[in-house]
Amino acid sequence: MYKIKLKGKTYEIDPKSDDHMMQQLVAKGAEIVGACGGAGICQTCAFKIIKGKFTPLTETEKMMDLPENQRLSCQCWPESDGEIDLIY
Ligand code: FES
């Protein structure tokens, strides 16, 4: 389990779960829009990395040309403890 800090709260995220970070955060009460339900289309689950390491960019994220230090929480898992901030 890794600890991910978001808006002053800390969430434990299982890096080995089949559920990506967005699903795990939402299940623990975080408010993430996630309009496309994790299909990697809407970008409303995007976050900025304040600190920490995350799984490599997926092909979906590469096609979106996200700004540096920005990821889609429906496409990744943490690889360390970290802190993030939601874009939407
Ligand atoms: S939930 Fe839509 S891109 Fe992640």
Identify the sign of the CA torsion 55, 57, 58, 64. positive
- Alpha carbon 63 to its chain centroid, in Å, reads 17
pLDDT of residue 3: 98
Ligand 1 contacts (CB < 6 A) are 34-36, 38-45, 72, 74
Domain 2-86, what fold? Ubiquitin-like (UB roll) (3.10.20)
Mutate to test the pocket of ligand 1, among 44, 61, 64, 88 (most ligand atoms within 8 A of CB): 44
pLDDT in tens, 16-64: 999 999 999 999 999 999 999 999 999 999 999 999 999 999 999 999 9
Which two structure tokens, joined as six digits, stand for 56? 């490599």
pTM, two decimal places: 0.94
Cα dist. 51→33, 42, 84 in Å?
A: 22, 24, 7
Q: Which of 19, 23, 24, 43 to mutate to test the pocket of ligand 1 (most atoms within 8 A of CB)?
A: 43
**In the chain, where the domains are located:** 2-86
**Counting every residue, how long is the chain?**
88
pLDDT for the residue 65: 87
